[in-house]
Amino acid sequence: MLTGLFVLNAAAQEEPRVRARDLGVAPGIFSPGTNNAITDVAGVRVGQVTLRKGDKVRTGVTAILPHPGNAYRSRVPAALHVGNGFGKFIGTTQINELGELESPILLTCTLCVWKAADAMVEWMLAQPDMQEVRSLNVVVGETNDGRLNDIRARPITAAAVRTALESAKSGPVQEGSVGAGTGTTAFGWKAGIGTSSRKLPESLGGWTVGVLVQANFGGVLQVEGAPVGRELDRYAFQNAVAARENTRGLADDRGDGSIIIVIATDAPLSDRNLQRLASRGMMGLGRTGSSASNGSGDYILAFSTAESVRRQFDAVRLQTTELANEQMSAVFQASVDAVEESVYNALFMATTESGNGQTVEAIPLDQVRKILKEHGVEVPVR
């Protein structure tokens, strides 16, 4: 039993946290799915374990399962785009070579990727129909939560990984300071896990695109074009730009950090078109104000859950029906918009967090509302 260690943040917040749409921030033109989450793609499930221990450990695990079956036996086509490769993403060379995913996807902290990978290997090998398996390519991504988390303690355990995998479910996904986002920050504010989705009109195929991000990066925050970072006086290179003393006693923020973006869709896409789809994730990221700095690991993994492109591991031939190139544009648009909104959700839902001797504040939503209104973003009356 995992007692006492895995607890969600119960600290009272003076200001209720809300998702982007509650602030009138709804990027793009397509409507979201039922939960506005990656789990709106049928079959996709998310499980999370949040680890807070003492006053130093603030980290966790987020697991994404592509479908309810055995991911090794029934593989989904997949592709990875690297916007900036300053990071660790286990298992991606084989994805690039074979164009398929044969495990769930785990997200965690930088120095825990190998422990998480080993735990997932053990968990998968213990599953039914896996007794003869001698090779596994598990996929684990990371961002560095070492500001709030005692990352050198490498606190992720096999029990935490198993719990994340076995608790994965469809429906709403918890966001902000949870799971792999427990200790992460973005644009100088507390961030974490964020998710969003888009449902295309039937005339454009009716496909669903879902996104989940682990946000831990920097830059100059903008929301629907409004210069939120500048107006809140928290943005990359601000001390150099303002030619002033650094009142926080820290080195000038250069926008470093990382983000993992996972894009799921039920559109029947080949790994080639999934590569094209993954590359569009950088466009959504750029809208939020990231410049993919030197010290930022920016990775986008995309996969398709469609039965018509599924790959049985022992198949002799593959007969697939996939979406034509000319039908990809709406899927691209949906992914760009969902990535952008996922980042906002990661920020707006995160709560102020203290750990490892530091405190990172949640972005003040009352001030964000004011800035958005001043720049013409319609904010709903609450």
Catalytic residue ranges: 258, 296, 298
DSSP 8-state class, residue 363: P
Report the chain's terminal Cα–Cα distance, integer Å. 41
From 263, 231, 266, select the one nearest 337 (Cα to Cα): 263
Question: What single string gives the DSSP state of each residue in 113-152?
Answer: HHHHHHHHHHHHHTSTT-TT------EEEEE--TTTS-GG
DSSP 8-state class, residue 309: G
- How far are the Cα atoms of 45, 73, 86, 136, 228 from residue 169, in angstroms, in the given order? 5, 20, 31, 23, 34
Question: What does R_g of the chain's alpha carbons equal in angstroms?
Answer: 20
**Token output for 262:** 């996972």
From 208, 209, 176, 170, select the one nearest 194 (Cα to Cα): 176
Cα atoms in the 13 Å half-sphere on the side-chain side of 67 = 20
Question: What single string gives the DSSP state of each residue in 198-257?
Answer: EE--GGGT--EEEEEEEEE--S---BTTB-HHHHTT--TTHHHHHT---TT-SPPP---E
- Phi and psi dihedrals of 175, rounded to 5? -125, 170
Distance of CA 316 to the CA centre of its chain: 35
- Phi and psi dihedrals of 260, rounded to 5? -110, 130
Report the sign of the C-alpha dihedral through residues 238, 243, 249, 250, in that order: positive
